[in-house]
């Protein structure tokens, strides 16, 4: 049967192109076997090389030659076994599961991206702490390393060296936390595939042999008698209210209710910078007694305004805590005396936690404060405290 049409069929109207915009060539994924050779004498090792896609500092995609030790010749006794290990290593690349990693250095990422963008999202005190760890410990060590080259074993050796140098366990832990936060941001922004800091471990925390000091009431009296104003009033209020020193120095007269005998905590101050309190539970109302009221009345005079600070310099700024209290005694130890006094007066633990809130109502905190109570009191404290915070007896 013939076709009776008056048109001409064109078999090839135009040259076929790839199904992408503009007909440009699409980068083809290359299957590679890599290269393998032996190196060294004692011990001999199998070394593999291959090509890997990377993200250049300007954001473009490039290729880089990688080299990696697969194992010793004693472990991989033949070339065929070494080729099997190489095939497993190249499987993510050949299957298309590998994502290119950035070749930006740790220093470049921190200075150009992390410090301007991420650091302002945390509180001022935390910013100061992060800047210290980055400037003193992390940037001198990892600054010239590419982000993708900071591996678990490198971080583990770094932490071990810091512990061996005499730094406290808690300091090294915070250092690892800062490094993990930076690498976590790089992972979220797809500069690296994995945050290697999460895979590291610290040794067990050493036990504290000497108990933390807790001032006795008589020691508090002797201390207060030697303090000049306003350090004397600050120390007394820390003992009687349980406020953090930053919360006390940020207290304004509008948050003091003499009639209802309460204090409302709405802010804290650190190094002259005002901010919200440490935790959400720290926004609280604290009942005060006659002693606190008398101290506040002595500080109050007719010219003060509701927005004025209870403790301030001649310029209206909060005093430096180390100038007012820490030159004579540690404010943390004074605050611990407040907790001890409340327990001696038979305060229930949930009330104690509401007055001196923490991010975690820790049993360790109670053990630190009351080292001299007997076994019967410990049993009673355990039952009250565990019930108030919802912990099981086995978690003590």
Q: Look at residue 376 in the predicted model and tell me its pLDDT.
A: 45
Is the CB of residue 216 less than 8 Å from the CB of residue 329?
A: no
Closest CA to 147 of 120, 177, 108, 119: 108
Q: What pLDDT score was predicted for residue 343?
A: 45
pLDDT per residue as tens digits for the range 154-181? 999 999 999 999 999 999 999 999 999 9
Choose among 352, 239, 339: nearest CA to 295: 239
Residue 90, pLDDT above cutoff 50: yes
CATH architecture of 217-389: Orthogonal Bundle (1.10)
Q: What are the sequence ranges of the domains in the chain?
A: 35-98, 106-199, 217-389
The tens digit of pLDDT for each residue in 102-132 reads 778 999 999 999 999 999 999 998 999 999 9
Q: Which residue has the higher pLDDT, 266 or 353?
A: 266
Candidate from 41-50, 88-97, 333-342 with smallest mean pLDDT:
333-342
85-99, 135-149, 305-319, 341-355: the lowest-pLDDT one: 341-355
C-beta separation of 162 from 137 below 8 A: yes
Domain 106-199, CATH among 3.40.50.620, 3.40.190.10, 1.10.150.130, 1.10.3720.10: 1.10.150.130
């Amino acid at each position: 049967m013939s076709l009776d049409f008056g048109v001409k069929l064109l078999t090839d109207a135009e040259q076929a192109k790839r199904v992408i915009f503009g007909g440009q060539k699409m980068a083809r994924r290359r299957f590679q076997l890599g290269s393998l050779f032996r190196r060294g004498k004692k011990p001999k090792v199998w070394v593999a090389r291959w090509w890997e896609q990377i993200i250049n500092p300007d954001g473009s995609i490039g290729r880089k030659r990688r080299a990696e030790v697969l194992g010793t010749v004693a472990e991989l006794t033949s070339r065929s076994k070494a080729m099997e290990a190489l095939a497993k290593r190249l499987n993510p690349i050949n299957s298309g599961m590998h994502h290119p990693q950035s070749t930006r250095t740790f220093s470049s990422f921190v200075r150009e991206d992390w410090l301007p963008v991420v650091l302002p999202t945390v509180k001022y005190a935390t910013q100061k702490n992060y800047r210290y760890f980055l400037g003193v410990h992390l940037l001198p060590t990892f600054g010239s390393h590419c982000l993708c080259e900071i591996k678990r074993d490198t971080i583990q050796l770094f932490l071990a060296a810091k512990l061996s140098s005499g730094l406290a366990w808690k300091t090294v832990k915070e250092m690892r936390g800062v490094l993990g936060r930076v690498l976590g941001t790089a992972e979220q922004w797809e500069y690296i595939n994995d945050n290697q800091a999460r895979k590291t471990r610290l040794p067990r925390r050493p036990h504290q042999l000497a108990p933390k000091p807790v001032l006795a009431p008589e020691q508090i009296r002797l201390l207060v008698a030697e303090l000049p104003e306003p350090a004397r009033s600050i120390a007394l209020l820390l003992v009687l209210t349980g406020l953090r020193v930053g919360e006390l120095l940020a207290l304004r007269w509008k948050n003091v209710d003499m009639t209802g005998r309460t204090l409302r905590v709405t802010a804290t101050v650190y190094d002259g910078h005002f901010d919200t309190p440490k935790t959400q539970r720290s926004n609280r109302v604290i009942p005060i007694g006659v002693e606190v009221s008398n101290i506040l009345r002595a500080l109050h005079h007719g010219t003060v305004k509701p927005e004025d600070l209870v403790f301030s310099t001649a310029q209206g700024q909060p005093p430096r805590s180390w100038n007012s209290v820490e030159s004579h005694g540690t404010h943390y130890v004074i605050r611990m005396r407040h907790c001890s006094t409340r327990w001696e007066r038979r305060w229930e633990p949930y009330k104690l936690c509401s007055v001196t809130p923490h991010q975690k109502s820790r049993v360790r905190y109670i053990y630190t404060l009351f080292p001299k109570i007997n076994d019967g009191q410990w049993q009673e404290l355990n039952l009250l405290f565990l019930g108030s915070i919802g912990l099981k007896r086995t978690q003590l």
